[in-house]
């Protein structure tokens, strides 16, 4: 292992020089937390004791019970109206338990509880600025308070990101150093060739290409011989062997052996297999959209302004590349996006330099153009004459075929007539021979 230990250093929010055992933050405000728990229990008891109950004269019990069971606007007849008037009204019949003292004590305990909570916020770094307690703030003030509060937690966020990064780094090191090719194939399910497969494919391609070249040479020799003898061969030229696109794509990938060698290089691994932890999760959607729009506008305007200058003065290309990279660093973008923008800009600069390095094309003069036109005209006339000759040959062959067909018809008719004459002659001979041989009964 690069750092000897197969695990990252413990993630501790409360650090100590004497031990590596993680210490919970509760130990920092355990006394305040215990006081809050005690006050909460006392407030619970007081709230339970604060009830609207009391006493009333026993002789009014039945009437009060009836009163509690009546509906709205319903009246009850009683025979002690004079007693109620002497007491000073119906509200004087009830004597409630005093609860003002309980209420004052509960309010004092609640205030002390809030003070202890605020003290814990101060100890842990969570303040009222972060929690946005005020309800009369504007949207801008609330957003500014939230952003300021988020800055106080970025230290913890960075520690957690580094811890996760260390875990991925150790896992990556174990995979790259200890896993063989078969294990990598089974885990990743990636379609990559091996060195042996690539060598067999290249050998096969060379064999097929050699066979094609041999066949093409034989075809060219036959065509030259036929042309020298004035003959035309009706044979098809050999076709260039084609490879399926998916096969070419498969063998264009790096082999497993190269990939294994690549990931075993610790220098490249530490550079390319790093975990990106720079992206801030504290930006709101509006801020994110605004930042990305500004980045797009800035890069687009810069490229539009820099392209003609670089085309006119290629020496300024490196300076503009550094300025664009410096501009991108001012935005919170991922490393892959930054590398993609820089690669695209490098490709644009290289294309501009290649175009300028090419010698200017010379414009052909009028006589050369006229000579080329005459040559093309002569070639076209030769092609037309050849086509007409071929057409005349085809018509002559058609006429000869028609003549042969007519001759065949005449021969067939003549043979048919001769056969008919022979048949009639035979019939006449038979009829003439009948009187010489009389029939017997």
66 assigned to some structural domain: yes
What token pair was written down for 30? 């355990």
Co-location of 45 and 151 in the same domain = yes
Co-location of 65 and 152 in the same domain = yes
Q: Residue 251: give the domain boundaries.
A: 190-226+239-272
Examine the pLDDT at 283 and tell me if it is beyond 90.
Answer: no
Examine the pLDDT at 54 and tell me if it is beyond 60.
Answer: yes
- pLDDT of 327 reads 81
106 assigned to some structural domain: yes
pLDDT range class, residue 199, cuts 50, 70, 90: very high
- pLDDT of 136 reads 58
Q: Which range is most confident: 102-111, 293-302, 334-343?
A: 102-111
Give the DSSP per-residue string, 149-169: HHHHHHHHHHHHHHHHHHHHH
Examine the pLDDT at 260 and tell me if it is beyond 80.
Answer: yes
Residue with tokens 């090419």: 358
Co-location of 337 and 397 in the same domain = no
408 assigned to some structural domain: yes
Co-location of 158 and 36 in the same domain = yes
Examine the pLDDT at 38 and tell me if it is beyond 90.
Answer: yes
Of 171, 200, 215, the residue at which a domain comes to its end is 171
CA distance 2 to 102: 66
Co-location of 214 and 347 in the same domain = no
The residue length of the chain stands at 441
Co-location of 297 and 257 in the same domain = no
pLDDT range class, residue 39, cuts 50, 70, 90: very high
Examine the pLDDT at 274 and tell me if it is beyond 80.
Answer: no
Co-location of 55 and 166 in the same domain = yes
What token pair was written down for 48? 């339970």
CA distance 196 to 280: 46
- pLDDT of 184 reads 85
pTM: 0.42
Mean pLDDT of 67-87: 80
331 assigned to some structural domain: yes
- pLDDT of 282 reads 47
Q: Are 29 and 22 in contact (CB under 8 A)?
A: no
Co-location of 218 and 299 in the same domain = no
Q: What percent of the chain has pLDDT over 70?
A: 80
- pLDDT of 1 reads 60
Rg over alpha carbons for the chain, rounded to the nearest Å, is 53
Give the range among 73-77, 359-363, 413-417 with minimum mean pLDDT: 359-363
Give the range among 49-63, 359-373, 388-402 with minimum mean pLDDT: 359-373
> Quick one: which of 262, 281, 279 has its CA closest to 271?
262
Q: What H or E segment, with its residue span, contains residue 95?
A: strand 95-96
441 assigned to some structural domain: no
Co-location of 164 and 255 in the same domain = no
pLDDT range class, residue 280, cuts 50, 70, 90: very low
Co-location of 154 and 35 in the same domain = yes
Q: What is the pLDDT of residues 205-255, one digit of tens each?
A: 899 888 888 888 888 888 787 777 777 767 777 787 888 888 888 888 889
231 assigned to some structural domain: no
Co-location of 154 and 56 in the same domain = yes
Mean pLDDT of 352-361: 67
Co-location of 296 and 268 in the same domain = no
pLDDT range class, residue 277, cuts 50, 70, 90: very low
Give the range among 131-145, 253-267, 383-397, 421-435 with minimum mean pLDDT: 131-145
Q: Which one is predicted more confidently, 422 or 185? A: 185
Examine the pLDDT at 315 and tell me if it is beyond 80.
Answer: no
Mean pLDDT of 171-185: 84
Give the DSSP per-residue string, 28-68: GSHHHHHHHHHHHHHHHHHHHH----EE--GGGHHHHHHHH
290 assigned to some structural domain: yes
Buried b (16+ CB within 10 A) or exposed e, 195-214: eeebeebeeeeeeeeeeeee
- pLDDT of 231 reads 73
Count structural domains, the chain: 4
Examine the pLDDT at 96 and tell me if it is beyond 70.
Answer: yes
- pLDDT of 146 reads 59
- pLDDT of 41 reads 94
44 assigned to some structural domain: yes
Give the DSSP per-residue string, 314-341: GGGHHHHHHHHHHHHTTS---HHHHHHH
């Amino acid at each position: 292992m690069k750092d000897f230990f197969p695990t990252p250093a413990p993630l501790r929010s409360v650090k100590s020089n004497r031990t590596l055992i993680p210490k919970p933050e509760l130990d920092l405000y355990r006394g305040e937390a215990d006081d809050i728990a005690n006050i909460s229990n006392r407030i619970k008891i007081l709230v339970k004791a604060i009830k609207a109950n009391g006493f009333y004269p026993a002789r009014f019990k039945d009437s009060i019970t009836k009163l509690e069971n009546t509906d709205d606007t319903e009246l009850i007849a009683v025979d002690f109206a004079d007693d109620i008037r002497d007491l000073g009204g119906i509200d004087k019949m009830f004597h409630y338990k005093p609860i003002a003292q309980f209420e004052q004590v509960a309010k004092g305990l609640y205030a002390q509880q809030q003070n202890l909570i605020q003290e814990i916020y101060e100890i842990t770094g969570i303040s009222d600025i972060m929690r946005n307690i005020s309800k009369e703030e504007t949207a801008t003030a609330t957003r500014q308070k939230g952003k300021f509060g988020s800055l106080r937690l970025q230290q913890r966020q960075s520690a957690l990101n580094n811890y996760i990064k260390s875990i991925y780094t150790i896992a990556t090191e174990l995979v790259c150093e200890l896993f063989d090719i078969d294990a990598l194939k089974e885990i990743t399910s990636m379609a990559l060739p091996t060195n042996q497969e690539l060598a067999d494919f290249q050998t096969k391609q060379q064999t097929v290409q050699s066979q094609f070249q041999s066949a093409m040479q034989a075809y060219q020799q036959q065509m030259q011989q036929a042309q020298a003898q004035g003959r035309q061969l009706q044979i098809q030229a050999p076709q260039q062997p084609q490879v399926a696109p998916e096969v070419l794509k498969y063998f264009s990938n790096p082999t497993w052996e190269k990939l294994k060698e690549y990931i075993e290089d610790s220098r490249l691994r530490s550079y390319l297999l790093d975990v990106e932890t720079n992206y801030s999760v504290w930006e709101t959607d509006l801020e994110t959209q605004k930042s990305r729009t500004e980045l797009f506008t800035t890069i687009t305007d810069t490229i539009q302004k820099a392209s003609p200058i670089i085309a006119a003065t290629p020496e300024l290309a490196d300076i503009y590349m550094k300025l664009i990279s410096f501009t991108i660093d001012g935005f919170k973008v991922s490393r892959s996006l930054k590398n993609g923008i820089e690669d695209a800009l490098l490709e644009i600069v290289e294309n501009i330099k290649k175009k300028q390095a090419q010698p200017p094309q010379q414009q052909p003069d009028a006589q050369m153009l006229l000579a080329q036109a005459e040559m093309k005209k002569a070639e076209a006339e030769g092609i037309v004459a050849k086509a007409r000759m071929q057409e005349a040959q085809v018509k002559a062959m058609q006429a000869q075929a028609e003549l042969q067909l007519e001759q065949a018809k005449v021969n067939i008719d003549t043979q048919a007539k001769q056969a008919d004459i022979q048949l009639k002659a035979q019939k006449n001979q038979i009829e003439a021979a009948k009187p010489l041989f009389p029939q017997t009964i």
